[in-house]
Amino acid sequence: MSEGEAKKCYSCGVEMQFAQRIPFRIRGQPGLVKLVFGEWAEISEEMLNFDVHVCPSCGEIRFSTDEKTRRSLLGKAFLKKCVECSREIPIASERCSYCATKQPEYKEQ
């Protein structure tokens, strides 16, 4: 999801407002290594983006990610297709993060 896509609040159904995109670094080097090697220490870092949406009515907050971040966090093995829009979503999702359609209950095999 991005700031241009409308999301409805799961609690009250009101359209949520985009608040901000939060960049989050992972797999970086600790301070001393970065101090010694400078920008070379950042080679293994990865940036993940999290979008924050807020419901103006009830205050519910929802985080979502872009496709690159989702794949980095979950990997392909932990994704399934939404029963309504066919987009890839986390396998244990109760609702699609794109169209909000309720998903069938996930059963481990």
**Structure confidence by residue, pLDDT tens digits, 90-100:** 888 889 989 99
pLDDT, greater one: 107 or 48: 48
- Beta carbons of 29 and 41 less than 8 angstroms apart: yes
Is the pLDDT at 103 greater than 90, yes or no? Answer: yes
Pairing of strands 61-65, 79-81: unpaired
Say what the pLDDT of residue 33 is. Answer: 67
Taking the whole predicted model, whether its pTM rises above 0.75 is answered as: no
- Mention every residue, 6+ apart, whose C-beta is less than 8 A from residue 59: none
Three-state DSSP class for residue 87: coil
pLDDT tens for residues 15-72?
Answer: 999 999 998 877 666 667 667 777 666 666 778 889 999 999 999 999 988 888 877 7
Residue 72, pLDDT score: 77
Residue identified by tokens 């950042």 is 42
- Any idea where the domains of the chain sit in the sequence? 1-66, 75-109
Structural contact between residues 83 and 64, judged by C-beta atoms closer than 8 angstroms? no
Nearest to 83 by CA among 69, 68, 99, 65: 99
pLDDT of res. 1: 43
What is the side-by-side order of every strand in the sheet holding 46-54? 17-26, 46-54, 61-65
